[in-house]
Amino acid sequence: MSTQQTAATDHDTAASTDDLTGDAARTGRAAPAASAESTATSHPSTAQISVPWANALGQLAGAVEILGYEEGLHEMLATPRREINVAVPLRRDDGRVELFKGFRVQHNVSRGPGKGGLRFHPSVDADEVRALAMLMTWKCAVVDLPYGGAKGGVGIDPQQYSERELERVTRRYTSEIMPMIGPERDIMAPDMGTNEQTMAWVMDTYSVSQGYTIPGVVTGKPLAVGGSLGRATATSRGVVHVTISALAEVGETLTGATVAIQGFGKVGAHAASIFAEEGARVVAVSDQFGGVHNAAGIDVPRLLDHVAATGSVVGFDGADPLGNDALLALEVDVLVPAAIDGVLDSRTAPSVRARFVVEGANGPTTSEADAILAEKGVVVVPDILANAGGVVVSYFEWVQSNQTYWWDANEIEQKLADRMHSAFREVAATSRAQGITLRDAALVIGVRRVAEAHQIRGLYP
Ligand SMILES: NC(=O)C1=CN([C@@H]2O[C@H](COP(=O)(O)OP(=O)(O)OC[C@H]3O[C@@H](n4cnc5c(N)ncnc54)[C@H](OP(=O)(O)O)[C@@H]3O)[C@@H](O)[C@H]2O)C=CC1
Ligand SMILES: O=C(O)CCC(=O)C(=O)O
């Protein structure tokens, strides 16, 4: 028996995960637009809506059904408050001109300014950004931050462009969406394809336009211009905190637990390091080029050196090659999708053998896959809880910026741990009390907080 199988067997003796998967029949409900894969299309010009937006609407519909809200309130919660589409021209280093589409969506601002990342990825379109903005609304509410939800994106593959070209795209995009953003209006942060340098360019472009330095317009900035300690690792650390909480629910710890991670970017790579430091066995990781697997556990620091030298996990000599789909099907305790959305769908979900799926990525599981995983007894810790560590420390960064007084790393890590564990406890308690999945429980908490804000403010009768 392999060491991987031994670990799984050890964990099999612990308490069952049934009470965190809710009632599978209920999870598989036919909510409006919930059958995302069958009704949606990834082509924005057709009458149908895209998979991420259909999934987001379906999730909201499920929460509204549980909460018993009437249609007017449902419609208000489903409708983005403000959206802007912009054209972003770029003069390439060689003189040619290219045009990209950019978007910023404020889904809801009833609890505070819009908050959410900026994504550079070729798949970015209006529906994807809408879906991600809606997720931000529920996410900020689940961890009880005084923010609404927003997201931005540019349909560009950043790996095909020079640093100088990316700077020009970022500055032009920022200028185009300028009327919507600001430290009290809408605060950006890094997401897929962007990083702290991108945030420094956004902050500089915004500050120059206003005539003075305004660090609070973005979070996830470099420390040298007002970033926060702990932000770079916060999303991943939050993923590890909720994994520890989820395992504790069934009487287990992280020690020796097997973990597979899809995506080795800002979230996936830090998660691999932190899981390994905390005593878990990281057996597989992947990036867009493929994955690597070692049942005895990957030497993560050595893998990081390999990635720094080659740009990919592929070819690492301390593990065997593995495809991305095969990674999703590994028999592990914890599977962490930390790359793109929709990777767990009706095709891949039946093969999942992990006991816990902890969503580092936004929207990695389609509605159909959710129902399949619940049926199989797989516990899914949903994105709006699992990856909220990033926005929690973004909030800390914004608070520090506003008060111009900086906390030390221990204070930030402790506040992050407290916030993530207490949010998990609250979600798990709702899940148990109502017999619903962790995703539905997190949505019920988030949606209810946002609806309450509307009702108290009088924006909704
Ligand atoms: N950064 C943050 O603070 C937060 C991020 N998230 C979510 O986490 C996810 C990852 O974000 P982040 O780490 O910031 O993004 P990055 O751009 O830093 O990393 C993305 C990773 O995904 C990999 N990837 C891209 N396409 C595929 C594919 N088709 N199959 C497998 N892997 C793929 C990339 O591979 P390669 O390295 O080869 O390019 C890269 O390793 C996103 O869903 C994001 O919205 C959620 C909360 C906060
Ligand atoms: O840190 C933030 O403000 C938001 C990060 C983000 O985009 C996300 O949580 O999806």
Distance 2 CA to ligand 2 centre (A): 38
pLDDT at residue number 49:
80
pLDDT more than 90, % of the chain: 88
115 carries a ligand binding annotation: yes
Nearest atom (ligand 2) to Cα of 220: 1
| pLDDT beyond 80 at 77 | yes
pLDDT at residue number 36:
59
Query: Which residues form ligand 2's pocket by a CB distance below 6 Å?
Result: 115-117, 136, 139, 189, 191, 219-220, 362, 387, 390-391, 394
pLDDT bucket at 9, cuts 50 / 70 / 90 = very low
Say yes or no: CB of residue 191 within 6 Å of ligand 1. Answer: yes
Best of 103, 104, 107, 136 to mutate for ligand 2, by most ligand atoms within 8 A of CB? 136
Best of 394, 397, 401, 420 to mutate for ligand 2, by most ligand atoms within 8 A of CB? 394
Would you identify the CATH topology of the domain 80-218?
A: Rossmann fold (3.40.50)
Report yes or no: 197 and 124 within 8 Å, Cβ to Cβ: no
Best of 266, 341, 384, 396 to mutate for ligand 1, by most ligand atoms within 8 A of CB? 266
pLDDT at residue number 29:
38
Q: Is 101 a catalytic residue?
A: no
Say yes or no: CB of residue 153 within 6 Å of ligand 1. Answer: no
| pLDDT beyond 80 at 461 | no
Tell me the pLDDT tens digit for each residue of 231-286. Answer: 999 999 999 999 999 999 999 999 999 999 999 999 999 999 999 999 999 999 99
Q: pTM for the full model?
A: 0.92
Tokens of 21: 């998967």
pLDDT bucket at 4, cuts 50 / 70 / 90 = very low
pLDDT more than 70, % of the chain: 89
pLDDT at residue number 383:
98
Other CB atoms within a 10 A radius of the CB of residue 168 amount to: 18
Smallest CA separation from ligand 1 atom 28, residue: 288
Say yes or no: CB of residue 289 within 6 Å of ligand 1. Answer: yes
Can 3-25+232-386 and 80-218 be said to share one CATH topology?
yes
Q: Cα separation of 332 and 256, whole Å?
A: 11
Mean pLDDT of 96-100: 98
Say yes or no: CB of residue 198 within 6 Å of ligand 1. Answer: no
Distance 416 CA to ligand 1 centre (A): 21
| pLDDT beyond 90 at 294 | yes
Report yes or no: 41 and 30 within 8 Å, Cβ to Cβ: no
Report yes or no: 386 and 364 within 8 Å, Cβ to Cβ: no
Distance 120 CA to ligand 2 centre (A): 14
- Can you say whether the dihedral through the CA atoms of 329, 335, 341, 342 is positive or negative? positive
Q: Cα separation of 242 and 21, whole Å?
A: 16
One-letter identity of residue 432: R
Q: Where are the beta strands (DSSP E) in 342-461?
A: 356-358, 379-381
CA distance readout (Å), 324 to 35, 191, 290, 339, 347? 24, 21, 6, 11, 13
Tell me the pLDDT tens digit for each residue of 365-415. Answer: 999 999 999 999 999 999 999 999 999 999 999 999 999 999 999 999 999
Q: Cα separation of 418 and 214, whole Å?
A: 29
Distance 313 CA to ligand 2 centre (A): 25
Report yes or no: 257 and 333 within 8 Å, Cβ to Cβ: yes
For the chain, the average pLDDT equals 91
Lowest mean pLDDT among 35-44, 80-89, 272-281: 35-44
Q: Cα separation of 20 and 220, whole Å?
A: 33
Q: Cα separation of 71 and 64, whole Å?
A: 9
Strand partners of residue 182: 186
Mean pLDDT of 91-114: 98
Q: Cα separation of 425 and 418, whole Å?
A: 11
Tokens of 208: 């120059």
Ligand nearest to the CA of 232: 1
The CATH class given to the 3-25+232-386 domain equals: alpha beta
Domain positions in the chain are 3-25+232-386, 80-218
Which one is catalytic: 101, 151, 266, 415? 151
Nearest atom (ligand 1) to Cα of 383: 46
Ligand nearest to the CA of 394: 2
pLDDT at residue number 12:
31
Distance 461 CA to ligand 1 centre (A): 41
Q: Where are the beta strands (DSSP E) in 1-42?
A: none
Tokens of 229: 């300690």
pLDDT at residue number 384:
98
pLDDT at residue number 364:
97
The C-alpha angle 241, 52, 428, rounded to 5 degrees, equals 30
Mean pLDDT of 284-307: 98
| pLDDT beyond 60 at 114 | yes
| pLDDT beyond 50 at 125 | yes
DSSP assigned state of 211: T
Report yes or no: 125 and 155 within 8 Å, Cβ to Cβ: yes
pLDDT at residue number 40:
52
Ligand nearest to the CA of 362: 1
| pLDDT beyond 60 at 7 | no
Question: How many residues make up the chain in this entry?
Answer: 461
Sequence-distant (6+) residues with CB within 8 A of 444 are: 63, 66, 67, 430, 434, 436
Tell me the pLDDT tens digit for each residue of 160-170. Answer: 999 999 999 99
Ramachandran bin of 301, using left for φ above 0, alpha for ψ from -120 to 50, beta for the remaining angles: alpha
Tell me the pLDDT tens digit for each residue of 396-406. Answer: 999 999 999 99
3-state secondary structure of 114: strand
221 carries a ligand binding annotation: no
Ligand nearest to the CA of 398: 2
pLDDT at residue number 35:
53
Tell me the pLDDT tens digit for each residue of 10-24. Answer: 333 334 455 566 544
Tell me the pLDDT tens digit for each residue of 136-156. Answer: 999 999 999 999 999 999 999
Q: Cα separation of 407 and 151, whole Å?
A: 27
pLDDT at residue number 47:
52
Rounded (10°) angle between helices 266-277 and 300-310: 160
Mean pLDDT of 114-121: 98
